[in-house]
């Protein structure tokens, strides 16, 4: 049984921690500091911290791991291995060199595709048919280390970043747990990444949720799904922000209209004309209001059908 330090922060990392605890001796958990959240801006613990405390595991929440004090804290746990899943900091040499069996990372893509902080939403935005999980040994680069094992996962037409995160988190947790005995025993061979095939992705920003109705309906559908649960896709109606919570391309629509124009769809739906085809709206939320079915929203907004979204 190896002495493992686990590093992770969001819900994606929780299944990996669950998979390790019990099979190995998790001697410490490192996660990001509590952050203000919600309307009251009260400090909120990360999902990994909550899971670690529920399991009675020691928790360390440094603002950075680059200080001698932080490195000494890790060294005091005497880890055989450091396991990382969506921790949120790039590890430097003093940390990477601590455990004799290295630092292994659970990355939510088939590296070298989508190195970076938002590989799940990037795969949806690109319209990829599949993605997957990579277990890699970390080096000083951003997701550039050698690969131990990979597993693929199809992307469904209704997958969101939220739903795909759940699938990949479970896949990655199982992959990590399965590979560790062989890795610790020296039986697993790593292979370098093909840097010439590498692509990169950045974290999503609020502005990435903006729907440009001049784009094709299929692309806008992917943007809506990629922005769930955050930052959320949006347009405007009569100068007020309108979130699009659920939508889908309307394959049967062959009408005419300007991008952004709201049209009626049979039997009682509504859609928006795009640069190519129409996007059916299924659930929306006007700023300051509760989410509602798009058809219900349209019945309360008599000028909506025939009107234009995205105009002031």
pLDDT > 90? residue 234: yes
- CA–CA dist 22, 1 (Å, integer): 9
Are 59 and 195 within one domain?
yes
The answer to the question of residue 307 being in a domain is no
Instruction: Write out the residue range of the structural domain in which residue 70 sits.
Output: 3-201
pLDDT at 251 over 90: no
152 domain residue, yes or no: yes
**pLDDT of the residue at 43:** 87
**Coil, strand, or helix at residue 32?**
coil
Residue whose structure tokens are 């190195």: 115
Burial (CB count <10 Å: 0-12, 13-18, 19+), residue 61:
middle
Give the pLDDT score at 312: 54
pLDDT tens profile 47-65: 999 999 999 999 999 999 9
CATH at 257: 3.10.25.10
Q: What strand order describes the sheet that includes 81-85?
A: 59-60, 25-30, 3-8, 81-85, 103-107, 130-137, 147-154
Mean predicted confidence (pLDDT) in 119-125: 98
Rounded to the nearest 5°, which phi and psi values hold at 169?
-65, -45
Q: Does residue 72 sit within a domain? A: yes
Please determine, for residue 260, whether its predicted confidence score (pLDDT) is greater than 70. yes
Asked if residue 132 lies in contact with residue 153, where contact means CB atoms within 8 angstroms, the answer is: yes
Do residue 248 and residue 272 come from a single domain? yes
- In this prediction the pTM is 0.95
- pLDDT band (50, 70, 90) for residue 268: confident
Convert the pLDDT of each residue in 80-119 to its tens digit: 999 999 999 999 999 999 999 999 999 999 999 999 999 9
pLDDT at 129 over 90: yes
């Amino acid at each position: 049984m190896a002495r493992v330090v686990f590093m992770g922060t969001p819900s994606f990392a929780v299944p990996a921690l669950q998979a390790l605890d019990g099979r190995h001796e998790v001697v410490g958990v490192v996660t990001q500091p509590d952050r203000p959240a919600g309307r009251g801006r009260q400090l909120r613990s990360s999902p990994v911290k909550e899971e670690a405390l529920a399991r009675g595991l020691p928790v360390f929440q440094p603002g950075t791991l680059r200080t001698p004090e932080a490195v000494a804290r890790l060294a005091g746990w005497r880890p055989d291995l450091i396991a990382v899943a969506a921790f949120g900091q790039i590890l430097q040499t003093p940390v990477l060199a601590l455990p004799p069996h290295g630092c292994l990372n659970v990355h939510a893509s088939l590296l070298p595709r989508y190195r970076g902080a938002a590989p799940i939403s990037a795969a949806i935005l690109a319209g990829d048919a599949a993605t997957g999980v990579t277990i890699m040994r970390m080096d000083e680069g951003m997701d550039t280390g050698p690969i131990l094992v990979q597993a693929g996962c199809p992307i469904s037409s209704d997958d969101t970043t939220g739903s795909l995160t759940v699938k990949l988190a479970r896949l990655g947790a199982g992959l990590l747990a399965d590979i560790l005995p062989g890795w610790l025993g020296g039986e697993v061979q790593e292979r370098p990444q093909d840097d010439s095939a590498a692509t990169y992705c950045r974290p999503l920003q609020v502005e990435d949720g903006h729907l440009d109705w001049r784009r094709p309906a299929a692309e806008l559908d992917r943007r809506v799904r990629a922005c769930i649960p955050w930052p959320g896709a949006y347009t405007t109606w009569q100068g007020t922000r309108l979130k699009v919570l659920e939508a889908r391309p309307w394959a049967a629509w062959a009408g005419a209209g300007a991008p952004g124009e709201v049209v009626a769809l049979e039997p009682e739906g509504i859609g928006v004309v795009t640069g190519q085809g129409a996007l059916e709206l299924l659930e929306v939320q006007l700023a300051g209001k509760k989410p509602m079915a798009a058809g219900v929203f349209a019945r309360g907004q008599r000028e909506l059908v025939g009107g234009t979204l995205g105009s002031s």
